[in-house]
């Protein structure tokens, strides 16, 4: 099969950490042809989505002393060509957030890839439907108490009730702009003004979950089912667990409560074409549904000696075959 990965500049990827590289390697290992492109290289011609693509061959990372190691020249590109994206079996949209206008326009181009020939993962409609912070709000039985507002008085009232809250910009990722706020904080007004851009943008305000100190669990969900999980524990002096801000990874398990969350979320994910997703769970509560370019595969495969990357590619193969009309 032919796989196209829409990624950030390949030279900027970290092969020892990025799930996109793990999936490209797995696809190569499973004898698929792997190509890359970027959102800047997408076009529409005569109503058909096209891309400038390059084949890529990878030198797989090696596990040494419980770390991944990559060769300096871990990838090699071939000749670029301008081809219709429906010449691929699967197109994986793996551009990193934030969801900018350019990102959004790329999803509209992906709408013009023939779904009879090619599976786009995640579905461009699904990506547009699922703001990574707001999507979780529909699963009221498994999320912590949360409001979304730009109104200072509503936020103040919620803080009065909860005593400690976490503030989240709706377009953020990797811990950016996440703030911890206690009742009586002298910076309350200013922090809310900064976060809401002077009341012009809503933000998420969520009850603080003390269990976050024990970790923020990332569960990878493929085709509606959990395939692996990793815990991310905040580093000293920090309340955010994100790997990008120094959170350390640790093994964990998928508890009965986690299964319940996955069963709650899974069917909706499938309905929205969200095939490869990373959910965040803190103390048994769903806090975020990552759909753009979730990460965690490398960490999981290192900790457990597992092959989540290959499982993912095999699931994509099955998905492509099951929907094939050829």
**Smallest distance, ligand ADP to C-beta of residue 38, A:** 22
- Binding of ligand ADP by 195 (CB under 6 A): no
Q: How many residues bind ligand ADP (CB under 6 A)?
A: 23
Smallest distance, Å, CB 13 to ligand ADP? 19
Q: Is residue 280 a contact residue for Mg ion (CB under 5 A)?
A: yes
Q: Is 119 a catalytic residue?
A: no
User: Is residue 315 at the binding interface for ligand ADP, with CB under 6 A as the rule?
Assistant: no
CB contact at 8 A, 49 and 110: yes
299 scored as a contact of ligand ADP (CB under 6 A): no
The yes-or-no answer on residue 76 being catalytic is no
Cβ within 8 Å of residue 178, ≥6 positions away? 166, 167, 168, 169, 172, 240
CA distances from 273 to 86, 126, 276 (A): 18, 5, 9
Q: How far apart are CA 222 and CA 316, in angstroms?
A: 9
Annotated catalytic residue 168: yes
Query: Of 203-242, which residues contact ligand ADP (CB under 6 A)?
Result: 206, 208-209, 212, 216, 234, 239-242
Based on its alpha-carbon atoms, the radius of gyration of the chain, rounded to whole angstroms, reads 20
Joined together, the tokens standing for residue 172 give 């953020």
As measured in angstroms, the least distance from the Cβ of 280 to Mg ion is 4
174 binds ligand ADP (CB under 6 A): yes
**Closest separation between CB of residue 239 and Mg ion, Å?**
13
Which among 284, 295, 233 is positioned nearest to 262, based on CA atoms? 284
The yes-or-no answer on residue 240 being catalytic is yes
Sign of the CA dihedral 222, 308, 210, 160?
Answer: negative
Contact region for ligand ADP (CB under 6 A) — 56-64, 67-75, 268-276, 281-289? 281-289
CA–CA separation, 100 and 128 (whole Å): 11
- Residues numbered 132-151 forming contacts with ligand ADP, rule: CB under 6 A: 144
The least CB distance from residue 216 to ligand ADP, in Å, is 4
Strands 2-6 and 90-93: parallel
Catalytic, 111? Answer no
**Binder of ligand ADP out of 17, 173, 217, 298 (CB under 6 A):** 173
In the residue annotation, 122 being an active-site residue is answered as: no
Q: Which residues pair with 155 in a beta bridge?
A: none
Could you identify the residue written with the tokens 């005569």?
46
Sort strands 33-37 and 2-6 into parallel, antiparallel or unpaired.
parallel
Q: Which residues bind Mg ion (CB under 5 A)?
A: 280, 288
Q: Which residues bind ligand ADP (CB under 6 A)?
A: 144, 166, 168, 172-176, 178, 206, 208-209, 212, 216, 234, 239-242, 280, 282, 287-288
What amino acid positions are annotated as catalytic residues?
Answer: 133, 168, 218, 232, 240, 280, 288, 290
């Amino acid at each position: 099969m032919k796989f196209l990965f829409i990624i950030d500049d390949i030279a900027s990827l970290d092969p020892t950490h990025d799930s996109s590289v793990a999936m490209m390697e797995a696809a190569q290992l499973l004898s698929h042809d792997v190509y890359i492109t970027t959102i800047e290289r997408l076009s529409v011609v005569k109503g058909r989505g096209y891309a400038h693509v390059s084949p890529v061959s990878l030198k797989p990372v090696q596990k040494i002393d419980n770390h991944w190691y990559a060769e300096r020249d871990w990838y090699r590109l071939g000749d670029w060509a301008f081809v219709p994206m429906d010449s691929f079996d699967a197109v994986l949209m793996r551009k990193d957030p934030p969801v900018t206008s350019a990102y959004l326009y790329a999803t509209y181009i992906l709408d013009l890839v023939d779904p009879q020939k090619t599976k786009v993962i995640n579905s461009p409609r699904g990506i547009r439907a699922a703001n990574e912070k707001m999507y979780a709000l529909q699963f009221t039985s498994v999320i912590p108490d949360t409001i979304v507002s730009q109104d200072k008085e509503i936020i103040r009232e919620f803080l009065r009730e909860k005593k400690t809250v976490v503030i989240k910009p709706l377009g953020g990722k990797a811990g950016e702009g996440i703030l911890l706020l206690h009742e009586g904080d002298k910076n309350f007004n200013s922090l809310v003004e900064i976060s809401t851009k002077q009341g012009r943008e809503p933000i998420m305000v969520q009850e603080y979950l003390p269990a976050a100190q024990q970790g923020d669990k990332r569960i990878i969900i493929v085709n509606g089912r959990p395939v692996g999980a990793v815990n991310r524990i905040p580093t000293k002096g920090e309340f955010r667990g994100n790997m990008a801000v120094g959170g350390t990874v640790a093994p964990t398990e998928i508890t009965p409560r986690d299964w319940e969350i996955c069963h709650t979320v899974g069917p909706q994910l499938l309905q929205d074409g969200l095939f490869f997703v990373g959910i965040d769970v803190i103390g048994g509560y769903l806090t975020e549904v990552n759909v753009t370019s979730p990460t965690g595969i490398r960490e999981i495969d290192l900790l457990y000696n597992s092959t989540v990357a290959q499982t993912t590619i095999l699931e994509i193969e099955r998905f492509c075959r099951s929907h094939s009309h050829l």
